[in-house]
Structures are given as structure tokens and as C-alpha cells.
């Protein structure tokens, strides 16, 4: 009705092909969005731990200051690794969106968009890979921190004077009222 059957079929086939091809980057975008959600959750946990350590730091004894400062330094490194993961993930997501947009714009303008597509999709994959590497580094740092805390707890528990010996005050030797 609007044109020949062959012409309509060819145009429709081209549109269907573009939509099919654009689904691959969309799956990548979905995976990147999931990673960004995981990164945000991890960053929130690091922030909660920083708040807890900072609170402990305000009311701790002088012997614990060095340990808490070391924890803050470790948490800072973890947050930097997560920041890198988030930035790379976001750039990868933006590059993926750019690749999909280039597919559509390239077809509409009937221009050769292959070089732009290669660059954008390649950038998306490289950034996603970089984000995963940065996240892996943060996870390894978190694991190392957990092992350090566990070792510190074991050493503290193994002391003959108990786990809170650093913070313990000497016993009060003054006679208590009402005792003989």
C-alpha cells in the first residue's frame, strides 16, 4: 500500500538487523549497571566502616590510635579502588550508549559508522574490564584487611591479661565502703 513489497521488506529487514545488533551492547550495559550497583554497595560499606573507625578514634586510648589510623588508611585505599571502578564502569556504560546511538544515527544518515562503533564498543569493553580489575583489587584489599583484623583479634585473645588489656585500668585497691 505504501510502496512495493520488496522495498518495504528490505527496509524492514535493515531496521530489524539494526535492532538485533544493538541488543549486544545493551546486554553489556545491563551488566555494567549491575556492576555499578555492586560498587555502590561496597562503597557504602566502606563509608560505614570509616564512620565507625572515626567514632572509635575520638574516644580511644593512645595505644589504639596507630591501629585505627592504619585502618583508616586501608579504608581510604579501598575507597580509591572503588572510585576507579565506578568511574571506569560509568565511562564504559556511556561508551556502550554511544555505540548504540552510533548504530542508529549511522543507519539513518547512511554513513559508514564502523570506525566510531569499533572505538566506542572497544572503549566500553576496556572500561568494563578496568572496572572489574579495580573491583578485584578492592576485594583483595578487603580480604587482606579482614585477615589483619582476625590476626589482631587472635593475638589479643591469646594474651594472658585478656583482650582488653590495652584499655584496662589498674584495679582499684582502695577499700570499698561497707566492706571489711
Locate 36 and state its grid cell. Answer: 555499578
Locate 41 and state its grid cell. Answer: 554497595
pLDDT digits (tens, 9 = 90+) for 57-67: 888 888 888 88
Percent of the chain with pLDDT over 70: 73
pLDDT digits (tens, 9 = 90+) for 132-177: 888 888 888 887 877 777 777 677 667 766 555 444 444 444 444 4
Coil, helix or strand at residue 1: coil
Locate 88 and state its grid cell. Answer: 571506569
pLDDT reported for residue 69: 87
Measure the CA–CA gap between 162 and 155, rounded to whole angstroms: 10
Measure the CA–CA gap between 176 and 86, rounded to whole angstroms: 60
Q: Are 92 and 11 in contact (CB under 8 A)?
A: no
Split at pLDDT 50, 70, 90, the class of 54 is confident
Measure the CA–CA gap between 37 and 29, rounded to whole angstroms: 12
pLDDT digits (tens, 9 = 90+) for 90-112: 888 888 888 777 776 776 665 56
Q: What is the mean pLDDT of residues 45-49?
A: 89
Question: Where do the domains of the chain lie?
Answer: 15-154
Coil, helix or strand at residue 164: coil
Measure the CA–CA gap between 151 and 155, rounded to whole angstroms: 6
Coil, helix or strand at residue 12: helix
Mean pLDDT value across the chain = 75
Locate 101 and state its grid cell. Answer: 546511538
pLDDT reported for residue 34: 92
**Residue 45 clears pLDDT 50, i.e. is over it:** yes
Split at pLDDT 50, 70, 90, the class of 129 is confident
Question: Residue 46's CB: how many other CB atoms inside 10 A?
Answer: 22
Amino acid at each position: 500500500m505504501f510502496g512495493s513489497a520488496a522495498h518495504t521488506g528490505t527496509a524492514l529487514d535493515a531496521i530489524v538487523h539494526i535492532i538485533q545488533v544493538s541488543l549486544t551492547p545493551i546486554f553489556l550495559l545491563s551488566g555494567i549497571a549491575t556492576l555499578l550497583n555492586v560498587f555502590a554497595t561496597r562503597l557504602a560499606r566502606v563509608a560505614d566502616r570509616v564512620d565507625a573507625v572515626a567514632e572509635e578514634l575520638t574516644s580511644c586510648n593512645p595505644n589504639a590510635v596507630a591501629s585505627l589510623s592504619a585502618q583508616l588508611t586501608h579504608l581510604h585505599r579501598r575507597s580509591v579502588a572503588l572510585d576507579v571502578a565506578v568511574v571506569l564502569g560509568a565511562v564504559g556504560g556511556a561508551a556502550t550508549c554511544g555505540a548504540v546511538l552510533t548504530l542508529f544515527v549511522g543507519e539513518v544518515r547512511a554513513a559508514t559508522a564502523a570506525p566510531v562503533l569499533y572505538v566506542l564498543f572497544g572503549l566500553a569493553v576496556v572500561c568494563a574490564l578496568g572496572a572489574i580489575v579495580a573491583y578485584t583489587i578492592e576485594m583483595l584489599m578487603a580480604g587482606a584487611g579482614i585477615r589483619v583484623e582476625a590476626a589482631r583479634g587472635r593475638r589479643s585473645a591469646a594474651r594472658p591479661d585478656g583482650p582488653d588489656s590495652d584499655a584496662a585500668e589498674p584495679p582499684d585497691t582502695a577499700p570499698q565502703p561497707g566492706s571489711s
